[in-house]
Amino acid sequence: MASYSYQRLGTMAPISWEPKFTTQPPKVKYAVLSYPAPDVLLVRLNRPKQLNCINGEGNSELEEIWDWLDKEPSLRVGIITGTGRAFCAGADLKEWNNANALGKARPLPPSGFGALSRRSGRKPVIAAVNGICFGGGCEMIVNCDLVVAARSATFALPEVKRGVVAIAGALPRIVRTIGRPRAMEMALTGRTVPAEEAREWGLINAVTGDREGEVVDEAVKYAKMIAENSPDAVIVSREGVKNGWEGFSAEEGTRHLIETWYPRLTAGENIKEGVKAFVEKRKPKWKAAKL
């Protein structure tokens, strides 16, 4: 099994270990996969000359990656970032233009743009926004579980400037995050929102510095905090929040969680291990989620 490492900022030596996968990682062409911490998958979009625009093949590739994250027992959290000065500038407009000329449709996977903008999934994904985050890129982060951004990062839904619509899932979702007036401002004007303003609006969780790798380091900190928790409890807690996000009333969402997900949690080993470890004053030894 190959050994993977991740060079953290300010350190001389890389942190390294051997991920032991039970399933094989998907083959990738437009992204780079790495493992910056135990149980954590880092996906780096890797088309810097195209500002990490995602084409049809790239969307299918990302669908395979997130599906693998959900199924692979040794992974608990995913992170997505970009290479170069962009996180993701949206759809590949050259491909789109060619499709229009040929009268062809541009299908997206059921999970939406980047297989994230409409993703439900089981395990959390954190966006580490290193730069330009426009169009489909912005639609992806609206549906990510946490978002951290470099200070120079910018966000926009500029589709109206090109005569198209942000139809990959962001419009009904972003209004629930930042409210109707701000959602309308982004959707109807297409203006660029800087990172600090996006944080004030509640669109993102945190803003970091602009040094290379700094935003990924911050995302890894969040990912490690998540990965240290019970993988079962993380999945079920995420479902509880999603219930409200998807429009359940508070009581409906609670009832659905209790009736559908809580029995799966209590049938597993991790809930027993967590309580036992607390009583014995030791660190829990979690097992891979089987929910």
Name the residues annotated as catalytic. 91, 136, 139, 159
Q: Three-class SS string for the chain? A: CCCEEECCCCCCCCEEECCCCCCCCCCCCCEEEEEEECCEEEEEECCHHHCCCECHHHHHHHHHHHHHHHHCCCCCEEEEEECCCEEECCECHHHHHHHHHHCCCCCCCCCCHHHCCCCCCCCCEEEEECCEEECHHHHHHHCCCEEEEECCCEEECHHHHHCCCCCCCHHHHHHHHHCHHHHHHHHHHCCCEEHHHHHHHCCCCEEECCCCCHHHHHHHHHHHHHHCCCHHHHHHHHHHHHHHHCCCCHHHHHHHHHHHHHHHHHHCCHHHHHHHHHHCCCCCCCCCCCC
